[in-house]
Amino acid sequence: KTLESRTVDGLAKYIKEGHAKRIVVMTGAGISTSAGIPDFRSPNTGLYANLARLNLPYAEAVFDISFFRENPTPFYTLAHELYPGKYRPTVTHSFIRLLHEKGLLLKLFTQNIDCLEREAGVPDESIIEAHGSFARQSCIDCKSPYPQEELKKQIEAKTIPRCHKSSCHGLVKPEIVFFGEQLPSAFFDNIDVPTEADLCIVLGTSLQVQPFASLPGACKSGVPRVLINMERVGGLGSRSDDVLLLGDCDAGVRKLAKAIGWEDELEDLWAQ
C-alpha cells in the first residue's frame, strides 16, 4: 500500500485506514526547542553558536571525550543549564506518547538527552536513547556508577564530580555519548528495527551525526518516510513515498493529529 498523496491528508488517510501499525519515530533536539532547550546547529539560537563564553577550541569540543578529560568545566557549565527537571515535554513529545497509546509505536529512536520522552509517558522499553541520557552517570576511568542525587548536587553547586574510589578519583560523567565514544549497545541491538516499520516519522533533527543519520535509510522502499522539521535534511524527500512537512514540529503534529481525528486526545495528553 502506498500513499494516495504526499500531503498531511494523504498521510492521515494511510494511518486511519490501518496501513501504519508499526511506526518508527526518530527525533532530535528540534522537538525540545519549544520546551526552552536550545538545539545544537540552528544558526543563531543553537548551542554551538552560543558557546563562545566557554572558550572552546571548537563548539563540538564541549561533547568531546578527549577534550572533557583535559577540561570538564565547559561541559559541566552547560550541564548546569540543561539538567533535566526544569523543562516540560512539548506537544510533539505527547504525539509520540499518543502513537504508543494507540499501539502504533514500534520504536522511538532519540538523540536527545533531556529525558522528555519518558516524562511525556513514552515507556522505557519503546525508547532507544541513541546518545545516552542524564539518567545514569559513571567514572570515565574505572566505570563505577555514581549516585544520581550526588551528581545533581554537584551540578547545582557548580563543582566537578569525581569518582568516590580513592584509588581512582577519575572524572564522573553522565552517560551521554560524547564524540569519540561508542553508542549504547541498545542502539546496535535495535539497528534493524526500521526495516520492520510501515511508517517512519523523523522530527526535529538535522541528521548530521552518524550512525543515527543512517536510520531513515534503513526503512524499506515503499514505506512512507515523513519529515517534520524546519528544514529539509538527510536526503528525505528523495523517495517517491517521502512526505515533507516543513516548519515547526508542534504545528506539524497538530495538523496531522487533526487530519486523523486525534486532535482532542492529543491536547488532553499534553495538558496532563
Q: How far is the CB of 48 from ligand OAD (least distance, A)?
A: 8
CA distances from 236 to 87, 103, 130, 245, 247 (A): 30, 26, 20, 11, 15
Q: How far is the CB of 170 from ligand OAD (least distance, A)?
A: 20
Q: Which residues pair with 105 in a beta bridge?
A: 23
Touching ligand OAD, residues 160-189 (CB under 6 A): 177
Touching ligand OAD, residues 59-88 (CB under 6 A): 60, 63
Q: Residues 6 or more apart from 259 whose CB is under 8 A from it? A: 8, 9, 11, 12
Q: How far is the CB of 41 from ligand OAD (least distance, A)?
A: 4
CB-nearer residue toward ligand OAD: 131 or 173: 131
Nearest position to ligand OAD, beta carbon: 30
CA distances from 256 to 1, 105, 118, 182 (A): 19, 16, 22, 35
Q: Which of 3, 11, 29, 215 binds ligand OAD (CB under 6 A)?
A: 29
Q: Cell numbers of 28, please?
A: 532530535
Which segments are annotated as binding site for Zn(2+)?
139, 142, 163, 168
Residues in the chain: 272
**Contact between 205 and ligand OAD per CB under 6 A:** yes
169 in active site: no
Touching ligand OAD, residues 212-271 (CB under 6 A): 229-231, 233, 248-249
Closest CA to 137 of 207, 75, 53, 51: 75
Q: Which of 40, 134, 187, 262 binds ligand OAD (CB under 6 A)?
A: 40
Q: How far is the CB of 19 from ligand OAD (least distance, A)?
A: 25
Q: Which residues pair with 27 in a beta bridge?
A: 110, 203
Q: How far is the CB of 96 from ligand OAD (least distance, A)?
A: 14
Active-site position among 80, 100, 131, 164: 131
Touching ligand OAD, residues 83-122 (CB under 6 A): 111
Q: Which of 20, 24, 37, 41 binds ligand OAD (CB under 6 A)?
A: 41
**Segment contacting ligand OAD by CB under 6 A, of 64-72, 191-199, 205-213, 235-243:** 205-213
- The residues that touch ligand OAD, with contacts defined as CB under 6 A, are 28-30, 33-34, 39-42, 46, 60, 63, 111, 131, 177, 204-206, 208-209, 229-231, 233, 248-249
Active site residues: 131
